[in-house]
Structure 1
Amino acid sequence: MAIDLKGLNHSQLNELIHRAEARKHELAKEKIGKVREKIVALAKAEGFSVEDLFSGRGGRKTRRPAKPKFRNPADHAQTWSGRGKRPRWFSAALAAGKKEKDLLI
């Protein structure tokens, strides 16, 4: 399939490009459909649905927040689980001479 590009004017070239791009998208959609059918068939053969495989959960368990381990003696509403960056009240209590075990809940 040889097209003489030199014999085409500007509008004819734009039309050819537009049609080629449209065909390219059609082929991509067809290929996506075929791959999708293969995935559905494979999932069904293994006893799963596509929603089971691609629901976003992936069998992961959600993590619960860690339970508080330390409490601010000056303000009992302030707690810390011992994970992440130390709160200022915790660092201040240690600097004031308290021990970690004194701040345990």
Structure 2
Amino acid sequence: MDKDLNQMSQKELEALKADIDQALASLESRRRTEARVAAESAAREHGFSLDELLEMGKARGSRTAKKNPPRYRNPENPTETWTGRGRKPGWIKEALEQGRPLSDLEI
């Protein structure tokens, strides 16, 4: 392909760009298909289907995504809660400075 880009019109350059974008999308699609076929083959060699392995990963990830439930609530603003982990919110610090025990703020 011996084209002098400097000699091409804007319309020709835009058409060339569209062709290149289409070729890149097609290449990516082929590469994904090849990768999936290779992954399915590797899974079969070990006695699994690729879908089984992917489901195992989803189940494992969902266990680690659990949030800690809140353990403390601000009595002046019940929408403010704290799990007891990480930095203490300002309302917890203020209550402790006022001499209130942390147990007074438990849910």
In the aligned structure 2, how far is the partner of 1:11 from the partner of 1:59? Answer: 49
1:57 maps to what in 2?
A: 59
Structure 2 gap segments, 5+ residues each: 65-82, 85-99
1:91 maps to what in 2?
A: 103
In the aligned structure 2, how far is the partner of 1:32 from the partner of 1:38? Answer: 10
- Aligned pair count reads 74
In the aligned structure 2, how far is the partner of 1:6 from the partner of 1:15? Answer: 15
Structure 1 gap segments, 5+ residues each: 63-83, 94-105
**Matched letter for residue 57 of structure 1:** A
- SS of structure 1 residue aligned to 2:37: helix
Q: Sequence identity, in percent? A: 23
- 1:37 deviates by 0.3
* Displaced runs of 4 or more, over 3 A: 58-62
> 1:2 and 1:54, CA in 2 relative to 1: closer, same or farther beyond 3 A?
same
Give RMSD over aligned pairs. Answer: 3.2
In the aligned structure 2, how far is the partner of 1:52 from the partner of 1:15? Answer: 44
**Matched letter for residue 30 of structure 2:** E
TM-score, normalisation: structure 2: 0.56
TM-score, normalisation: structure 1: 0.57
- 1:2 deviates by 2.4
